[in-house]
Structure 1
């Protein structure tokens, strides 16, 4: 039977108990508080559920990841990075990015980024754990992504594009930022052809947990990936370079 978690204390079952079908489903219940979410990500667990479901927690195996040095930039994307006139920033409008991601998912397939999920990640952003990367053109938000950063780990949650390749531009800048910190890892959670085309690949759950131990290195309440506070946003780079 699937374990049902109380709202307190924070306690997840062993990852060995995750189901094979559906792949990685570990438990239900708990809460979407920062305490629960931080504990989950540190263990390689993330929430994913629809409005008509309880909170569901996952740790799939294999795990889709992107090593920053392995990002694949095809000729057309390289040209867009140089010449498209994008400006790229981080943490300047987290609320707009998560709202745009929710809208994009809703239009495509119905969204799992519910109001409760948005509030939960806004709370993480206020604590300096959740981050957004924004892609702008002429002052308009045209793409971006958001996720959770701990140490040199970035746990990607969602991305969106309003112009061709805008989300890819955000991902490239994230990979470059991690590489500038001495490498790291981007958690893509589950396989998609879009991410595979950019160099993401699958690894076993135990290998993923080993990378967590390596790259987070005790960053319980400090050493955030980008900024100590979500409101301390800044420019990473400009797309015209």
Structure 2
């Protein structure tokens, strides 16, 4: 199973309604929404009002990534939007079990995010509790960074644990995901591919539908 998630932060922010329409035509599986607080990462993005407007103007399920400190504060802030997923970073969580339980109570699928330098051992005991793992292949915060190939070894290690599980969480990958990096990620059982400037929101010719159809051929 695989699907594409469009990183809406990389879209044309002055024409979001049109962008959403084009992403729906492309049959995008998820809208990846980065929420950044300017503390955990040196950038700020996507407050509740923006995501409320996005939710009201698309049928594509939202996939919110909290690149923040105090993730529980932001979960409470965004839970009313009813995204499909909320990912929060293990690096900033004081009580992952509590935060996972809160998301479940709100009908939101919980996901744990892991930065490139953080070892898989930090999330092993939480694997049975979540529906997805967001494995960052660049440092969170900014688009356009080079793909961190050391993360491939992390995926290999993670898959050892997941193979022992009856219902393992999905693996989502985010950071310079494109026709060059997708094949090696697919070999390592990635399920959800976040597409940003390098593969979707760029100046290359073609509609979003055409670009996604081209990427889909990599899985055949």
- Please give the TM-score of this superposition, normalised by the length of structure 1: 0.29
- Please give the TM-score of this superposition, normalised by the length of structure 2: 0.30
Which structure has the larger Rg over C-alpha atoms? 1
Greater relative contact order structure (CA < 8 Å, 6+ sep): 1
